[in-house]
Amino acid sequence: MSDTENNIRGNHPISSIMQLSEKIVEAKRLVSKAKRITAFTGAGISVDSGIPDFRSEGGLWERFDPHEYATIESFMQNPTKFWTMGRELVETILKAKPNSAHKSLAKLESDGKLIGIITQNIDNLHQAAGNKKVVELHGNYLRAYCIECKVEYVGDAIHQRVASGIIPPKCEKCGGVLKSEAILFGEPLPERAMAEAVELCRSTDLMLVIGTSLSVYPAAYLPQLAKNSGSQVVLVNLEGINRDSVADIILRGRASEILPKIVD
């Protein structure tokens, strides 16, 4: 028996286990018949890769006040503060590996059914799992650029320097401060990424919403856009969901356990 079913057995009547099993069967049927699947992912899909949700107990925002460390204004005033927080974050991200939920989405793409992933995550794990079409609404922590000359840095070399204590990292070309591509509070979402996300929502016939409570806007409206465009929506999340009315099926549990069951 899975951990998900054990948790349900401990807190709910056995009928709830049957209900979850029936929902998984129905979700699997929707995946099977769908021709253009889109996934919309949040922090919950990466928890089993060792990256805790920033907002959860013990998460990053409990140790670092985001208003002090993670706004664009605070970065421009004192980038050392951001990179001090970033030093701890990068150690977690560099160690993380794709889990079974990421691999399930990669399988859907290789099978020709998944047309793209829209993600709020900055951890690069979808790409590491093998997905090619990934729309990153909040950027990618493993990409950086110089705020002066705009030269770009891709990969973990900059973050290895940060991990070794070189804070803030500087541009090798002009000496300017480097900024991670990850979107900070107060920065607009990338226009191109949002446009690509909207196009995916309008083109899909099934959206898998995974590991997000749909509480961060404007991204949280995207499943509703897909629904309004004729798509069915399956929500997979361990915690509560803010906009559960958008869903045709809600699966409460770990993405790493449930995704393989509905994709297999």
Give this prediction's pTM. 0.87
**Residue 89 above 70 pLDDT?**
yes
What integer pLDDT is reported at residue 234 of this predicted model? 96
The 10s digit of each residue's pLDDT in 216-241 is 788 889 999 999 999 999 999 987 66
- Domain identity same for 4 and 36: yes
Q: What is the mean pLDDT of the chain?
A: 88
Instruction: Give me the percent of the chain exceeding a pLDDT of 70.
Output: 89
Least confident residue range of 21-25, 91-95, 149-153: 91-95
CATH number at residue 64: 3.30.1600.10
Task: Please report, for residues 19, 57, 76, 144, 247, the alpha-carbon distance to residue 54 in angstroms, rounded to integers and kept in the order given.
Answer: 31, 8, 22, 20, 25
- Domain identity same for 24 and 45: yes
Buried b or exposed e, range 19-38, using 16+ CB within 10 angstroms: ebeebbeebeebbeebebbb
The 10s digit of each residue's pLDDT in 56-77 is 665 676 778 888 888 999 999 9
**Residue 18 above 70 pLDDT?**
no
Domain end residue (candidates: 160, 181, 202): 181
Residues 6+ apart with CB under 8 A from 21: none
- Domain identity same for 209 and 136: yes
- Domain identity same for 113 and 45: yes
- Domain identity same for 241 and 252: yes
pLDDT band at 91 (very low <50, low <70, confident <90, very high): confident
pLDDT band at 4 (very low <50, low <70, confident <90, very high): very low
pLDDT band at 9 (very low <50, low <70, confident <90, very high): very low
What integer pLDDT is reported at residue 7 of this predicted model? 41
What's the farthest any 2 CA atoms get from each other in the chain? Answer: 64
- Domain identity same for 167 and 177: yes
Q: Which of 102, 126, 138, 159 is catalytic?
A: 138
230: closest CA among 42, 35, 45? 35
To the query of whether residue 138 is one of the catalytic residues in this protein, the response is yes
Least confident residue range of 46-60, 129-143, 187-201: 46-60
Domain end residue (candidates: 150, 166, 181): 181
Determine contact, residues 156/197, Cβ cutoff 8 Å. Answer: no
**Which domain does 248 fall in, by range?**
1-50+98-140+188-264
What integer pLDDT is reported at residue 245 of this predicted model? 81
CATH number at residue 217: 3.40.50.1220
The 10s digit of each residue's pLDDT in 104-147 is 999 999 999 999 999 999 999 999 999 999 999 999 988 999 99
- Domain identity same for 163 and 249: no
- Domain identity same for 135 and 233: yes
How many Å apart are CA 131 and CA 148, to the nearest integer? 32
What integer pLDDT is reported at residue 251 of this predicted model? 93
CB atoms within 10 A of CB 152: 10
- Domain identity same for 245 and 255: yes
How many Å apart are CA 256 and CA 48, to the nearest integer? 7
How many Å apart are CA 31 and CA 29, to the nearest integer? 5
Beta bridge partners of 234: 208, 249
Our count of domains for the chain comes to 2
- Domain identity same for 102 and 129: yes
Buried b or exposed e, range 188-209, using 16+ CB within 10 angstroms: ebbeebbebbbebbeebbbbbb
- Domain identity same for 234 and 103: yes
- Domain identity same for 202 and 85: no
Domain end residue (candidates: 181, 204, 232): 181
